[in-house]
């Protein structure tokens, strides 16, 4: 790349040339990126900043909150509430929606986020991230309620994540492909480092938490057994495995070099459709994956077509290289 293109310039050009980004949405994305820079700073300080360890509280899903889960949530709320671009926010770490206070102007967008994904990796210095999804508030109604958020992932107008790893990288789609921006710490800005990200349709790498194998459903077991059988098995090729336990980092690897990621329903808690959250994790990641030529299903159905019934809904997730996702989906549908 001859001259550096900042996130700001990228968004302005998308707005100007393609008309894809109305100015309120552009502002929103810039503010989210700024918040991610702040979270990245806190993550980098680690023990020196006193940000490691648990906060001693639980979120609505009964998970123990880490200090950084709460810090990241606050950074996102504070950065976004006053700009006039949002009507309300929803977070994996908050019981109910956060309506923009009356003292600020209300905008037309809804922002959803998993403020700190991969919480179990915070204290061990492994990549973690922030995942976000943007919806439009349905027209015609005054005020905003939880029901306004219950839109299928196909309705998203922007989605992305920021991974805090060896580099801090922001990955974004507004429905025109996927672009990646790397944080230039000297300049304090995100710089475009890859456009038109494409995921190879085939792969020899899968990501799943193998310790849950005995709890899986038959189609997932069949798929993984066939991968493990390698060259001598029905697939006729060897597979490699990776599991980072940070969805952001696993998805980032898949966007970079292909692969398939699965967090399927399992028998540990049969009443739950899965571990991951539809609105904060599965929807934004599925749209990014599809925009890069991959596929994302819950084993039976395209994730982006699922009509949510509650804010903190969980879902089974299979996403990544198209042919592999289609294969494991066909095993579920017995095609
Ligand atoms: P979190 O948002 O509380 O961090 O939970 C989601 C994470 C994903 O990033 C990751 O894929 C998964 O949970 C790992 O789960 P497990 O520890 O069961 O392997
Ligand atoms: Mg998460």
In whole numbers, what is the pLDDT of the chain averaged over residues? 95
Per-residue pLDDT, 142: 79
**Domain identity same for 81 and 138:** yes
pLDDT at 114 over 60: yes
Asked which of 54-68, 86-100, 214-228, 319-333 is least confident by mean pLDDT, the reply is 54-68
Per-residue pLDDT, 2: 53
User: Residue 151 C-alpha to ligand 1 middle, in angstroms?
Assistant: 23
Look at residues 181, 207, 202, 201 and name the one whose alpha carbon lies nearest to residue 118.
207
User: Residue 120 C-alpha to ligand 2 middle, in angstroms?
Assistant: 10
pLDDT at 57 over 90: no
**Domain identity same for 240 and 181:** no
- CB-based contact 132:161 (threshold 8 Å): yes
Q: Which residues contact 68 (CB under 8 A, 6 or more apart)?
A: 39, 42, 43, 51, 52, 116, 119, 122, 128
Residue range 187-202: average pLDDT?
97
Per-residue pLDDT, 97: 98
Residue range 262-282: average pLDDT?
96
Residue range 129-141: average pLDDT?
93
Structural domain of residue 304, as residue ranges? 205-333
Residue range 6-24: average pLDDT?
89
Q: Please identify, among 160, 194, 228, the residue that sits at the C-terminal boundary of a domain.
A: 194
> Considering its fold, how many domains does the chain have in total?
2
Domain-embedded: residue 124: yes
Structure tokens at 274: 């899965």
Ligand 1 lined by 114 (C-beta under 6 Å)? yes
Residue range 197-225: average pLDDT?
97
pLDDT bracket for residue 135 (50, 70, 90): very high
Q: Which residues contact 132 (CB under 8 A, 6 or more apart)?
A: 32, 111, 112, 113, 114, 158, 159, 160, 161, 284
Domain-embedded: residue 199: no
**Domain identity same for 39 and 155:** yes
Ligand 1 lined by 196 (C-beta under 6 Å)? no
Percentage of the chain with pLDDT > 90? 90
Ligand nearest to the CA of 119: 1
Domain-embedded: residue 103: yes
Per-residue pLDDT, 173: 97
pLDDT at 126 over 60: yes
Residue range 210-238: average pLDDT?
98
For residue range 58-67, what is the model confidence (pLDDT) as tens digits? 888 888 889 9
Pocket test for ligand 1, best of 121, 124, 245 (most atoms within 8 A of CB): 245
pTM greater than 0.95 (yes/no):
yes
Q: Please identify, among 194, 216, 241, the residue that sits at the C-terminal boundary of a domain.
A: 194
């Amino acid at each position: 790349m001859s001259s550096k293109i900042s996130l700001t310039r990228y968004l302005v050009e998308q707005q100007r040339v393609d008309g894809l980004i109305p100015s309120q949405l552009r502002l929103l994305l810039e503010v989210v990126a700024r918040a991610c820079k702040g979270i990245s700073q806190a993550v980098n300080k680690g023990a020196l900043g006193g940000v490691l360890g648990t906060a001693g509280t639980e979120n609505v899903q009964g998970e123990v909150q880490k200090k950084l889960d709460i810090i990241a949530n606050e950074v996102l709320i504070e950065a976004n509430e006053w700009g006039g671009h949002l009507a309300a926010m929803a977070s994996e770490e908050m019981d109910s929606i956060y309506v923009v206070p009356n003292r600020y102007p209300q905008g037309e967008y809804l922002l959803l986020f998993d403020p700190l994904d991969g919480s179990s990796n915070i204290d061990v210095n492994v990549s973690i991230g922030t995942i976000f999804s943007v919806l439009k508030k349905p027209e015609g109604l005054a005020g905003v309620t939880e029901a306004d958020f219950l839109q299928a992932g196909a309705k998203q107008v922007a989605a992305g994540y920021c991974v805090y790893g060896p580099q801090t990288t922001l990955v974004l789609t507004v429905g025109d492909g996927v672009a990646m921006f790397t944080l230039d710490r000297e300049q304090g800005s995100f710089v475009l480092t890859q456009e038109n990200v494409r995921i190879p349709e085939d792969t020899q790498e899968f990501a799943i938490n193998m310790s849950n194998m005995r709890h899986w459903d038959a189609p997932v077991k069949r798929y993984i057994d066939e991968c493990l059988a390698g060259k001598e098995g029905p697939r006729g090729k060897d597979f490699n495995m990776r599991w980072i336990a940070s969805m952001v980092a696993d998805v980032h690897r898949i966007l970079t070099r292909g692969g398939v990621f699965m967090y399927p329903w399992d028998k540990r808690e049969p009443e739950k459709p899965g571990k991951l959250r539809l609105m904060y994790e599965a929807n934004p990641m599925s749209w990014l994956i599809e925009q890069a030529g991959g596929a994302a299903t819950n084993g039976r159905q395209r994730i982006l077509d699922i009509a949510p019934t509650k804010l903190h809904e969980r879902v089974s997730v299979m996403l990544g290289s198209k042919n592999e996702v289609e294969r494991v989906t066909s095993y579920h549908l017995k095609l």
